[in-house]
Homo-oligomer: A and B are copies of this chain.
Amino acid sequence: MKIYFAGSIRGGREDRKLYQDLILYLRNFGEVLTEHVGDGELFEKEQELSDEQIYRKDRTWLEQCDVVVAEVTTPSLGVGYEIGLAESLGKKILCLFRTGAGKKLSAMISGNPRLQLKSYKNRDLAKVIIHDFLGVYKL
């Protein structure tokens, strides 16, 4: 199974370590195409690529993936765009929203019946949600 993990990059990196932990967990279920989202040195590495190269690479991965897992707590244009594009490509999408972080989730995500949206309080509960989701879609 090919998994596209989406998390905020230029919108804000405060949850970077959480993304890294979720990506490590996702690797139990298949190949995570976007492992770089959890990388602490991502900005340095991205400087080798133009924005158009980054866009084309991520778009290709979105087209190739079987499922999308998006962490949506930190507002991010990129994550929102990826969810909209993935939905139009007919992908199965799980959105994870952390409660208690003082963030408001967009109604375009929370009111969207085409997405699986789950709230969670801590990493362990996020992993239980991922396990349940990927168990259904395991390929």
Binding site for B on A (CB under 8 A): 8-12, 46, 50-56, 58, 72, 74-88, 104-113
Contacts and interface: CB of A to CB of B under 8 A. Distances in A.
A111 B76 contact: no
Nearest to A110: B51
Contacts of A82: 80, 84, 108
**What is the total number of copies of this protein in its complex?**
2
Contacts of A72: 77
Query: Closest 3 A-B residue pairs measured CB to CB?
Result: A80-B80, A84-B84, A55-B111
Contacts of A11: 75, 104, 106
Contact of A10 (B54, B58, B88, B104): B104
Contacts of A76: 75-77, 80, 106
Contact of A105 (B10, B50, B52, B109): B10
